[in-house]
Amino acid sequence: MQTTALESVHVAAGARMVPFAGWNMPVQYRGILEEAKTVREHAGLFDLGHMGRVKVYGPEAEAFLQRLQTNDAASIKPGRIRYALILNDEGLTQDDILLYRNPRDDGFFVVINAGNAQRDLERMRALAADFDCTVEDCTQSLGMIAIQGPRSQDITQQICSGDLASLGYYAWMDTEVCGVQMTLSRTGYTGEDGFEAYVPHGHEQAVWDAFIQAGAAHGLTPIGLGARDTLRHEAGMPLYGHEIDETTNPLEANLGWAVKLNHDFVGKAALERVTAAGGTGRKLIGLTTHSKRCPRQGYPIAAGEKTIGVVCSGSISPTLSESGTPTNIATAYVEEAFAEVGTELSFVVRGKAEPCVVTALPFYKRAR
Amino acid sequence: MRPDDLKFQQTHEWVKIEGDTATIGITDHAVSHLSDLVFLDLPAAGASVTIGESFGEIESVKAVSPLVAPISGEVLESNEGLSDNLEWLAEEPFGKAWMIKVKLTDTSGDLMDAAAYDAHCKAEG
């Protein structure tokens, strides 16, 4: 089991630790509902040390990345970030990633999922053999700490030398946080404003403590992976192994916006074949229900008596339930004919059909 | 400390046996690990429960967990108020949050006393 530099900090803070993608990670500190509310209303601090972090540099780094992934690396400006996918030869999703072009334009940075890190790195190294570039796994040499929530900028600005107000969404910069040189991006996985800091190894605890101290007056608390999953689900963001995996393509997952056909990436030909044939016939949708039962991954979705889909992720929605009506949410793949918003369907729990309705994604969008 | 007139099983249900009747619930350890409970499904009177098999479900924000019967028998009564007052489970897991009362037919399951269960919880973390 791998551990992040912050494991003892989590244990001391009373976190419940669980194995996640081979890492011992905090799933919750106080309770998922309370932690989700903290992030929506104040701010939360996340240890993301398990995420894979990879530097890519060299004369042909850009050409390599164009081959590796679906978005257009050539059009990313220095200091900007794009969401992208790595596909296999069949056009099915091997991972979703964030692709950063360095602020000084001297290479790229890629953040990959913990559960796919080894497979991604093998793919990257194999592909890189054809290009003049270096793929450097920095997962051990860099920590990753995120702050998310409406108070994120106020808190972070207290300990960060750079001007955060000038840092746009999906942009990053070289800066100092509590005196430590690092890179910081305006990104996240909760649907809230916030930052992700890439902290040189050895400084993780000092930076974590500095955030906690700076945030104390703003309601900042540490947040576990349980609430993180609920928050991303409300915000309509896919999670590998749920909405996307090696049985789905990005188009049916509503991720066509991250696929740019102006370059020759792995999986492109297969994706074009599927498109030419009229698609896969199914689509990822959102569902809401006021049933007492909650749709869960793998539950069948039915229209009348007929099974027409399956649940990817399901959870109660703490934010939508704030109105006073308990609301559960789910994502599901359904046959396209049943994908229209407002369509009344059911999810099946132990043989019993519970009503739900197709709902536009995301379930939650913050006021800007 | 947990009441010492109860027996426990590894899956964190407790049972109190009085004559030919058993009262069943889940432990404080289970409640604390499930956290954020949202739904409880219990069998109606007349249903039969079997050692080692599910007699209901409890759902938290993240997951559905089966409730595993520590004894066999026929359900006499289920705690009607509990489904709408899941906070009772945190307040009094061994008291007002009892789940079902069962007329016993078999008590041959692998049950622990409070001390052994305490050690089991510590080993599980």
> Which chain A residues are within 8 Å of B84, Cβ to Cβ?
none
Chain-centre distance for alpha carbon A133:
27
A282-289/B64-68 β-pairing: unpaired
Residue of A nearest to B35 (CA): A31
Q: Does A252 touch chain B (CB under 8 A)?
A: no
Q: Does A104 touch chain B (CB under 8 A)?
A: no
Say yes or no for a CB contact (<8 Å) between A294 and B36. Answer: no
Rounded to an integer, the average pLDDT of A199-218 is: 98
Report all structural domains of chain B as residue ranges with CATH numbers, in order of start: 7-124 (2.40.50.100)
Decide if pLDDT at A132 tops 90.
yes
Residue ranges of the domains in chain A? 7-51+140-234, 53-137, 281-359
> Which chain B residues are within 8 Å of A229, Cβ to Cβ?
62
| pLDDT score at B62 | 79
Percent pLDDT > 70 in chain A is 100
The mean pLDDT of chain B is 94
| pLDDT score at A226 | 96
Minimal Cβ distance to B64: which of A16, A32, A296: A296
| Rounded (5°) CA angle A182-A191-A260 | 80
> Which chain A residues are within 8 Å of B57, Cβ to Cβ?
350
Say yes or no for a CB contact (<8 Å) between B36 and A230. Answer: no
Q: Which CATH class is domain A7-51+140-234?
A: alpha beta
| pLDDT score at B33 | 86
Instruction: Please write the tens of the pLDDT for every residue from A312-335.
Output: 999 999 999 998 899 999 999 999
Decide if pLDDT at B125 tops 80.
no
| pLDDT score at B96 | 96
Query: One-letter amino acid identity for A220?
Result: L
- Return d(Cα A247, Cα A93) in angstroms, integer: 7
Rounded to an integer, the average pLDDT of B45-62 is: 93
Minimal Cβ distance to B39: which of A32, A33, A292: A292
B17: pLDDT confidence band, cut at 50, 70 and 90? very high
> Which chain B residues are within 8 Å of A28, Cβ to Cβ?
35
Query: One-letter amino acid identity for B8?
Result: F
**Which of B29, B32, B34, B35 is most worth mutating to test chain A (most A CB atoms within 10 A of its CB)?**
B35
Rounded to an integer, the average pLDDT of A268-281 is: 96
DSSP state of A15: P
Rounded to an integer, the average pLDDT of A280-284 is: 97
CATH of domain A281-359: 2.40.30.110
Decide if pLDDT at B1 tops 80.
no
**Chain A closest-CA separation from residue B125 CA (Å):** 9
Q: Which two tokens stand for residue B83?
A: 């489904």
A3: pLDDT confidence band, cut at 50, 70 and 90? very high
- Return d(Cα A196, Cα B106) in angstroms, integer: 57
Instruction: Please write the tens of the pLDDT for every residue from A335-364.
Output: 999 999 999 999 999 889 999 999 999 999
Instruction: Please write the tens of the pLDDT for every residue from A144-200.
Output: 999 999 999 999 999 999 999 999 999 999 999 999 999 999 999 999 999 999 999
CA atoms within 13 A on the CB side of A342: 0
Task: Look at the domain A53-137 and name its fold.
Answer: Alpha-Beta Plaits (3.30.70)
Task: With H, G, I as helix, E, B as strand and everything else as coil, classify residue A274.
Answer: helix
